[in-house]
């Protein structure tokens, strides 16, 4: 099972992940909380181990912005958290040629069905618009037969329970923070627990 540590904003965060080596990290280019600008993300990417792919997290962003970040090698994957439709995803694929993750806010089986039909390589299943630190009813994903990132309310304490649903990856942000900042010990614990499953 893969691990994504999302919402990195500080050089200190990069030092932590370079040490524990998750499979992915996330830079958020939307909202207010944990948002980074392009220059900040470029600096963080330079410090990040070259073998750890960075995922750019966007909400209804202009494709030109995503293209700039991909071309500059700041991000290696793209995660969409807005109302981006299949037409948008097609246009993105044509210009950027990087894997796309589409996020779905899960409240019912209808949301799971939408996720199942998406054309992207991976879907991400979350509660609300992401970053809430709360989980949705995981029982809804029991029958999903496609690779997915599981997000929302994850922490070192519930890794074992989350693993039962066989996600492709666990995506954590606030669950490895203390007072809104990434916490080295929580990140180490999260990664260790997943690796030992």
Q: Which residues are identified as catalytic?
A: 6, 126
For residues 92-102, b (16+ Cβ closer than 10 Å) or e, as one string? Answer: beeebebebbb
Strands 148-151 and 122-126: parallel
Neighbours of 114 (CB within 10 A): 14
Taking CA atoms, 45 is separated from 25, 51, 161, 193, in Å, by 10, 11, 32, 26
Q: Quick one: which of 19, 72, 70 has its CA closest to 48?
A: 19
Reduced to 3 states, what is the DSSP secondary structure of residue 40?
A: helix
> What is the spatial distance between Cα 94 and Cα 92, in angstroms, rounded to a whole number?
5
């Amino acid at each position: 099972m893969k691990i994504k540590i999302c919402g990195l904003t500080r050089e200190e965060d990069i030092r932590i992940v370079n040490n524990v080596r998750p499979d992915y990290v996330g830079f958020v280019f939307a909202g207010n909380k944990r948002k980074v600008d392009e220059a900040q993300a470029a600096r963080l990417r330079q410090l990040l181990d070259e073998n750890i792919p960075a995922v750019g997290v966007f909400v209804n962003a202009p494709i030109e912005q995503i293209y700039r970040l991909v071309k500059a090698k700041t991000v290696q994957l793209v995660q969409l958290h807005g109302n981006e439709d299949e037409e948008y995803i097609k246009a993105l694929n044509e210009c950027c040629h990087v894997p796309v993750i589409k996020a779905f806010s899960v409240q019912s089986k209808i949301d799971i069905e939408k996720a199942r039909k998406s054309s992207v390589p991976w879907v991400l299943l979350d509660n609300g618009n992401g970053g809430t630190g709360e989980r949705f009813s995981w029982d809804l994903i029991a029958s999903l037969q496609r690779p997915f990132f599981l997000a929302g309310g994850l922490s070192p304490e519930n890794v074992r329970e989350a693993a039962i649903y066989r996600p492709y990856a666990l995506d954590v942000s606030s669950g490895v923070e203390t007072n809104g900042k990434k916490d080295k010990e929580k990140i180490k614990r999260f990664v260790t627990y997943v690796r030992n499953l």
